[in-house]
Amino acid sequence: MPNTATRVAPVAVRPLASPAEMRAGVALYRDVFELPPTDPAVSPRLLASLQRNGGTVLGAFDGDRLVGFAYGYLGKDVRTGEIYHYSQVVAVHPGWQGAGVGRAIKFAQRDNVLAIGVSRMRWSYDPLRAANAHFNLDVLGARGRWFVRDLFGVEDTGRDAGVGTDRLIVEWDLTEEPGGRAGEPRPATELGWGEQEADGDDRLLAVPRSWDDLLRGDRDGALGVRRSVTAALTELLDRGYEAVSCRLTGPETAVYRLTPANTVTTQAEV
């Protein structure tokens, strides 16, 4: 892996370089996702192996302090044979979220992946987390192409304990300039959560602005919204749509825009 550093003041992003840094990455991951100290999802040994075998293991540092962490590995599409980089985790310390750290990590990951001759990256995220959706689709310019129900089963620990792990899988073309579609008109605001409507050839789908607040305040209602969003995304992606944007339309609502796959275009953010 190239030993390059990407900066977003005052943070430096570089490959983790020692067993101690690997352990710090694991600890940060558990803290961010509210997992117990014995959570087995990632270990320093796994990270060291990935880093030596085509993976990316990156940290964002404020001086000597680790404030962001990511790892990924090479994958192969079993249907097409295409090789891509799969980004498994990006975790940013709560005190640094919204400060550009996630963007710096993804751009550093992009640089490292392009340097080994791979031009696409994939990862999954919870489509009910609107801030993540906006970052993935509008900031980076990735496209939501596949939907998987309960990708990891039901969460037994952490912030979503007892909730299923429905995931939208995005693909990022690393050869294009990062950024979503410029000049995207703001979608309508009257949709209820989980409802969809046509906007020309596109479809709009409303989700809560804050899934965490909804889950804490009305668990049964939140799970009902999740079922509706799951049904809508399953239907739309099966029909050939791709998620290309997710933007806030009010204090409590964000709206996805999904476009027929053969009409999706991207351009740099303005």
Listed as own residue / partner, the contacts of 1-10 with beta carbons closer than 8 Å and 24 or more positions apart are: 1/51, 1/55, 1/56, 1/57, 1/112, 1/116, 2/111, 2/112, 2/115, 4/108, 4/111, 4/112, 4/115, 5/108, 6/104, 6/107, 6/108, 6/111, 7/104, 8/100, 8/101, 8/103, 8/104, 10/62
Average pLDDT of the chain to the nearest whole number: 86
What's the confidence (pLDDT) of residue 270? Answer: 18
Name beta bridge partners: 11: 8
Quote the percentage of the chain above a pLDDT of 70: 86
Enumerate domains of the chain plus CATH numbers.
6-263 (3.40.630.30)
Confidence grade of residue 232 (pLDDT, cut at 50, 70, 90): very high
pLDDT digits (tens, 9 = 90+) for 179-190: 776 555 566 557
Rounded to the nearest 5°, which phi and psi values hold at 48? -60, -40
Of 19, 120, 126, 41, nearest to 76 by C-alpha is: 120
